[in-house]
Structures are given as structure tokens and as C-alpha cells.
């Protein structure tokens, strides 16, 4: 699995990253292939230096669905809630549609600019001299510009709701690390606290990161049970 190297490339969103990972392995879009690439996806997410927050949120929402898929593939007996099932279905459906669009875009790129059909400039050869713009005053030009300047795209404003949702992964990792230094054992529930979905995903990713770094070991004694985290 680690033979596949992710190219250091900027992905705009979760769908293009996921589809690239899947297509690199020549797989089709289904839960098996999604489970297979989930590790790489999370790796990629953790390696990203800085991401606009709105973008980070969309990456994390997909990550949450991937973690569900991965967990289900590891524990076939795991029961998913209706909402969880829906988030997986949603991701699959969107990936399928996105894949279709990407394929269709290849038709455009293969034709684009190859055999341009030209138009004729409007009113070529028509000579009518100066047409007085009736009643036009400079103030009208001024007003037109004022209105135009109002429509200039503002620097992207991220809705507060999304900012609320995003918690920095590094903060969580640090928090867990510090806690592990103080206590020998803790649990995921205690660590994550009462958080929304994104918060849980981030906490879970943070925990996985520490496991990967060999700082902590985790044990889950029963399905849905809490995860014990201990210093390794």
C-alpha cells in the first residue's frame, strides 16, 4: 500500500484528490477502493502545510466518511447509523458524478483550440462616424463605475459556520501528546470531549497520527466501546 506515492500536488478539494488516488490504482469507485485509499488520503491531509479553512472543512467532511468506510472494512460486524450510511453513499455518488464530469472534460480538451471556427468582427466595414450618445453626462459614467466597483469579488469570506467547524489538527495532536505526558492512560472519549462531527474526526486523526508516530498505543475492547489510549 505504501508503494504508491502521492505526488506533491495541490488538490483543490477532496473529490479530485480521492479520484486521483483511486485512478492511480486503476480501481473503480466503491467502498473497497475507498477503504484502500483512505490511509493515503489522511496522510495527504496531514502533510498539507496550510489550507484555506473553507477548503479544510470540505477535506475533513470527506475524511469522516472515509474513516467510517475504513472502520467498516476492518470490522465487518460494525453497525453504521442511517446518517453514517448516508454520508458514505453521498461521497460515493458525488465521486461518481465528478468522475463522469472529468471524463467529459477530456472531450473538451481534445477539441479545444484544434480547429477554431472564426467569427466576423461585429459590423466590420460599417462606417457611420460619431454617434452622439444622447443625454450622456460624465456623472453617468461615474455612476456606472461606482456600481461596477461594488461588484468586484471580495477576498473570500468564509462563513462563520465553517470556521466554527474547523479545529486545527496540530492543536489536537499537541493536546493529546501533552495529556499523554501527564497521565499514563486516557480514553478517546475523554480526549475528544463533547465535540461535533468535525471535532471528532480531527481528534481521531490526531490519535491515529500519534499511533503512527509510535507515541501511543490504542485498544478498543468492544464495538462502540471507548478506545483506551496509553503511552507505548
Partner 1 sequence: MNLPNIIESILFVHGEPMKVSRLAKILNKKEAEVEEALAILRNNLAERGLKLAQNGGEAALITVSEASGFIQGLLKEEFSGKLTRAALETLAIVVYSGPLPRPEIDFIRGVNSSFTLRNLLVSGLVEREISPKDRRTFIYKPSMDFLRFLGLSKLDDLPEYGEFRKNLEDFSRAETNNRENKENVE
- In sequence order, what DSSP letters do the residues of 60-112 get, joined into one string? HHHHHHHHHHHHHHH-TTPPPPHHHHHHHHHHHHHHHHHHHHHHHHHHHHHHT
142 contacts partner 1 (rule: CB under 8 A): yes
Buried b (16+ CB within 10 A) or exposed e, 75-97: eeeeeeeeebeebbeebbebbee
Q: Do 183 and 199 contact (CB within 8 A), yes or no?
A: no
47 contacts partner 1 (rule: CB under 8 A): no
| Number of residues lying near partner 1 (CB under 8 A) | 60
Stretch binding partner 1 (CB under 8 A), from 64-72, 138-146, 168-176, 212-220 = 138-146
Stretch binding partner 1 (CB under 8 A), from 35-43, 68-76, 127-135, 200-208 = 127-135
Site for partner 1 in 92-121 (CB under 8 A): 93-94, 97-98, 101-102, 104-105, 107-109, 111-121
Q: Of these, 3, 50, 74, 132, which contacts partner 1 (CB under 8 A)?
A: 132
Q: Of these, 46, 48, 51, 58, which contacts partner 1 (CB under 8 A)?
A: 58
Cell of 99: 468522475
SS3 of residue 136 by DSSP = coil
SS3 of residue 24 by DSSP = helix
SS3 of residue 211 by DSSP = helix
8 contacts partner 1 (rule: CB under 8 A): no
Site for partner 1 in 61-80 (CB under 8 A): 62
Residues forming the site for partner 1 (CB under 8 A):
10, 12-16, 54-55, 58, 62, 93-94, 97-98, 101-102, 104-105, 107-109, 111-126, 128-134, 136-142, 144-145, 147-149, 151-153, 156
Amino acid at each position: 500500500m505504501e508503494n504508491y506515492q502521492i505526488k506533491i500536488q495541490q488538490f483543490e478539494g477532496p473529490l479530485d484528490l480521492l479520484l486521483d488516488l483511486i485512478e492511480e490504482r486503476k480501481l473503480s469507485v466503491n467502498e473497497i477502493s475507498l477503504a484502500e485509499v483512505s490511509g493515503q488520503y489522511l496522510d495527504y491531509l496531514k502533510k498539507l502545510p496550510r489550507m484555506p479553512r473553507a477548503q479544510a472543512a470540505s477535506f475533513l467532511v470527506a475524511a469522516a466518511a472515509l474513516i467510517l468506510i475504513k472502520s467498516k472494512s476492518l470490522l465487518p460486524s460494525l453497525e453504521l447509523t442511517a446518517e453514517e450510511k448516508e454520508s458514505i453513499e453521498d461521497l460515493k455518488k458525488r465521486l461518481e458524478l465528478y468522475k463522469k464530469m472529468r471524463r467529459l472534460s477530456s472531450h473538451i480538451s481534445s477539441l479545444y483550440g484544434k480547429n477554431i471556427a472564426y467569427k466576423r468582427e461585429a459590423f466590420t466595414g460599417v462606417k457611420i462616424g460619431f454617434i452622439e450618445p444622447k443625454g450622456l453626462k460624465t456623472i453617468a459614467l461615474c455612476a456606472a463605475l461606482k456600481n461596477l466597483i461594488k461588484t468586484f469579488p471580495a477576498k473570500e469570506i468564509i462563513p462563520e459556520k465553517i470556521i466554527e467547524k474547523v479545529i486545527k489538527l496540530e492543536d489536537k495532536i499537541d493536546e493529546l501528546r501533552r495529556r499523554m505526558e501527564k497521565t499514563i492512560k486516557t480514553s478517546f472519549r475523554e480526549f475528544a470531549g463533547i465535540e461535533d462531527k468535525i471535532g471528532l474526526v480531527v481528534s481521531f486523526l490526531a490519535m491515529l497520527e500519534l499511533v503512527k508516530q509510535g507515541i501511543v498505543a490504542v485498544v478498543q475492547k468492544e464495538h462502540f466501546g471507548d478506545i483506551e489510549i496509553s503511552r507505548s
